[in-house]
Structure 1
Amino acid sequence: MTAFDKHQVACFRFVRCDFAADTGVARLVYAFDHGPEMVETITVPGAPFNLSPERAAAVQRALQLLHLIAGVSYYKAGVPDTVAIEGYAIDAETAALVESIYLHGLGEFAYRNGLNLRGRFRLPVAGEVSPAPTLGLQSHALVAIGGGKDSLVSIEALRRAGVDETVTWIGGSQLIRACAERTGLPTLNLGRALAPELFELNRQGAWNGHIPVTAVNSAIMVLAALLRGVDQVVFSNERSASYGSQIPGTGEVNHQWSKGWAFEQAFGRHVQRYVAADLLYYSLLRPMSELAVARQFAKTDFYDAHFSSCNRNFHILGERPVNRWCGVCPKCHFVFLALAPFMSKARLVRIFGRNLLDDLDQAGGFDALLEFQDHKPFECVGEGKESRAAMATLASRPDWKEDALVKRFCNEILPQLDLAELALEPMLELQGEHRIPAALWERVREDFAA
């Protein structure tokens, strides 16, 4: 293999994609210039799939959309100015959606690498679009689970609302599997194997960094839903996900853009219009803040020994689960802080194994969450105002106020804040746009507001 020079790459090619109904394996093929093909595979259990012509056509549309979105993992290695699609043509609407995903979903990647991607990724438009047919899909939800508190809140809310659901995850995480099995619901483990050539390119100095993985996972689950003939793909992204880090001199950069409302709205609308009219894509938690989700999760201890939001346990090259919580990353900091107002101190310390708020060495990490002398971390954490409200709440409670970081907050940070903006209750209100089906929203709204 010729050495890869990211500065000399001229073209990124979407070579082809195919799906074998007898094995349930999709192949997504990419290449740079005339270099070797990079083949990613997606495996959907349940083969062989017997598809009507209409559903097979929808599967092909979903496969092409997945091919385009998943290509972001490979395109970013060279970020060339020219992009080619071989084997099929796309319309202007599809091109606009995918271009938006690459531009905004690679925002953190571009910022960290000092790149300007605006106007750089442009897809060739050659096809016409046809409205998607109604396929007669059965009423059933594939619910994404990531092992953290949010998806478990969704799963239990759907259970109480009487929605048939299958708990679904992508990849080989044993932590997520254990969490999924704890639900007692049907499970579906989708396989994703990245092309090994990508890791070789990274070793040779390719551009590297964060990608919009939720966008990729969403497209994988839409394909799986069509193959299984079900009508809902459900994620658990809350209102807070729409707000990024405010970087001085740069503006907003959102680490979790593909968990935000702009992506959900555009992707969900596109799937219904152009893939399958009766396939619904939505986040059940969109009207909630992170704090509201934390309050909901704290109502039961059923998952206390099973869930983990610590990203150090989830890694592209495999898990390193020494403990479910490392206790020092932004996710551990935020989840600890968000849960603290809603559960007993003893229970929270039992979950994490220690009291993170009584350790002055962790001050810098919590300062970033509070947006005090630092910007919000590039992680899936709540807004700064939520962290400030949670910390202010703990400062008023006898069992927390003597802890080192709470005491420091009272002495150094609280005097600089507007007390009117620190109230917890307004942050727990359900508000904002969402794509939850109206009849379901009526059932879960009461549940969430209780």
Structure 2
Amino acid sequence: MTDPRQSRRFRFVRHAYVEGVAELVYAFDDGEELVERIYFPEAPTVPAERAAAFASVLQLLHLIVGVSYYKAGVPGQIEIEGGLPDQATAELLDTLYLHGLAEFAYRNGLDLRGHIHFPHAGRRPTSPSALGLPARTLVPLGGGKDSLVSVESIRSTGVEATVVWVSHSPLIDACAERTGLPRLHLQRELAAGLFELNRQGGWNGHVPVTAINSAILLLAALIYGYDTIAFSNERSASSATLEYDGQAVNHQWSKGYAFEQLLQQWVREHVGSDLVYTSLLRPYAELAVTRAFARLGSAYFDVFSSCNRNFRILGPRPADRWCGQCPKCHFVFLALAPFMPKPRLLAIFGRNLLDDDSQTAGFDALLEYRDHKPFECVGEGGEARAAMYALSLRPEWREDALVARFAAEILPQLDIAGLALEPWLAASAEQQVPAHLLPALAVIEGRN
């Protein structure tokens, strides 16, 4: 393999599904094929009435997963062999690749605006009917607080649910087992050649993983028979990390509401009227979710982890569930603190992150004080400031090093009227949660 940055074409070569294995093949120019496989264990035969929908989703899966490989070279020409998608699908992909790779482009000094164009076969009439999918819900599990809030709130409503994850993480395995719900463990095997491309000088960086997992779960819903996929992406995910050269750069773009709406619309037009793709936590800011987790998640306090260093593909992982150094550790600690007894929180993390001067820069970034929000799945700066202000008023927290520094140095520069917790705890009407899951929102809000 040679440097993919010298390539002119990125090719979607072919895709297939045989006996529970989806095989997705890519290539740069006429180079070596890159073959990714996704495994669906004990997969039943897909019923004939779902065949057309299945073919549409399998193609979409091939095209979305390709973002992991395309980014190594970002050539200007995209070729799709074996049949072009329709215009609506191509437009979804243009949008996903542009915004989902915005952080990657920013960090690598690239500008992808006007660069990505998926070919298509024009508009096609699409009006799929209902597929007759069983009334049950797939709940993607990430091992952190958000998906566990969804699990517990859905469980309390009596909706039939299965937890599902696409990972090799023992931490997620442990959380899945602790739920006591039926479990579905899917596996994604990246093409070995991708890592060789990186060694040869290919571009590297963040890709929209939630979009990839969403496409995988759409296929799983058709294979195993589920009418709902309920992710746990909160309202704060729609907030950009920063603005650069006229473009919003959002680390969490594929977790945001814009992508959720785009994909749900695509499902309605290309798959079936009775398959729902949604996010249960969409009405809520991160602080509302941490409040719910403090109340609902006690069974998981000793197994959950939101520290992303536990889930990296390459590189060292922390010795325990929390590294205590990354933005996710910082934010989860800060966001839980207003809603959980201090001894309980310190027991979960094994240390007090707010009484450690070496963590100053990390928390300043969360507060958006002299820095922008971290490129991580964390809440908005306003949430972090509201949480820190609440702690500065509490005797058990206000003498800790970083809380005291906030009160002395940062707070005088802020408008106290904008630091209340309550607005961050209120639900938004901006969501598309289906009617059968609305009772779970009452559980999250403590109204049940």
Q: Could you say which residue in structure 2 is the equivalent of 1:303?
A: 300
> Secondary structure of 1:42's partner?
strand
Q: Aligned partners of 2:244, 2:112: CA distance in 1, in Å?
A: 19
Aligned residues: 444
- Given residue 349 of structure 1, which amino acid in structure 2 is its aligned partner? L
CA-CA distance at 1:293 after TM superposition: 0.2
Q: How far, CA to CA, are the matches of 2:244 and 2:60 in structure 1?
A: 35
**What's 1:242 paired with?**
238
| Aligned pair partner of 1:79 in 61, 67, 74 | 74
Q: How does 1:8-157 map to 2 (within 5 A)?
A: 8-20=6-18, 23-47=19-43, 49-126=44-121, 128-157=124-153
Cα distance in 1, alignment partners of residues 71 and 12 from structure 2 = 13
Q: Deviations over 1:177-202 (max 9, x none)?
A: 00110001110000100100000000
1:288-316 CA-to-partner distances (Å, cap 9, x unmatched) read 11000000000142100000000111112
Measured in 1, the distance between the counterparts of 2:294 and 2:84 equals: 49
- Maintained 8 Å contact 1:143/1:166: yes
Corresponding residue of 2:427: 430
RMSD over aligned Cα atoms: 1.3
Return the match for 2:272 from 261, 264, 276.
Answer: 276
Amino acid at match of 2:239: Y
The 3-state SS of whatever aligns with 1:12 is strand
For the residues of structure 1 that align with 2:151 and 2:197, how far apart are their CA atoms?
Answer: 39
Please tell me the residue identity of whatever aligns with 2:370.
Q
Classify the secondary structure of the residue corresponding to 2:299.
coil
C-alpha separation in 2, matches of 1:16 and 1:57: 17
Matched, 1:334 2:331: yes
Match of 1:270, SS state, is: helix
Report the 3-state secondary structure (helix = DSSP H, G, I; strand = E; otherwise coil) of the residue aligned with 1:230: coil
Using the TM superposition, give the Cα deviation of residue 90 of structure 1 relative to its aligned residue in structure 2, in angstroms. Answer: 0.9
Q: Distance in 2 between matches of 1:64 and 1:249?
A: 34
- 1:16 and 1:387 map into 2 onto residues whose CA distance is 46
Measured after TM superposition, the shift of residue 45 of structure 1 is 1.2
1:131 CA displacement: 2.1
- Equivalent residues of 1:239, 1:432 under 8 A apart: no
User: Residue 26 of structure 1 aligns to which amino acid in structure 2?
Assistant: A
Residue type matched to 1:284 in 2? L
**One-letter code aligned to 1:325:** W
CA apart distance, 1:58:
1.3
Amino acid of the structure 2 residue aligned with 1:386? E
Question: Identical aligned pairs, as a percentage?
Answer: 61
| Matches for 1:163-242 after TM superposition, within 5 Å | 163-242=159-238
- Looking at structure 2, the residues matched to 332 and 402 of structure 1 have their Cα atoms a distance apart, in angstroms, of 21
TM-score (norm 1): 0.97
Q: Show the counterpart of 1:376.
A: 373
Alignment partners' CA distance in 1, 2:316 and 2:370: 33
Counterpart Cα distance in 2 of 1:285 and 1:180: 19
Output the TM-score relative to the length of structure 2: 0.97
Per the alignment, do residues 318 and 437 of structure 1 end up closer, same or farther by CA in structure 2, a change over 3 Å counting?
farther
- Contact 1:173/1:319 (8 A) holds in 2: no
CA distance in 2, matches of 1:239, 1:319: 31
The corresponding residue for 2:3 is 4
> CA offset at residue 248 of structure 1?
6.1
- Shift in Å, 1:268: 1.2
Deviations 1:6-50 (A, max 9, x none): 1x2100000110001xx2000000001000110000111123x22
SS at match of 2:262: helix
Tell me, yes or no, if structure 1 residue 354 matches structure 2 residue 348.
no
Q: Matches of 1:439 and 1:234 in 2, distance apart?
A: 11
| Residue identity matched to 2:110 | L
Unaligned ranges ≥5, structure 1: none
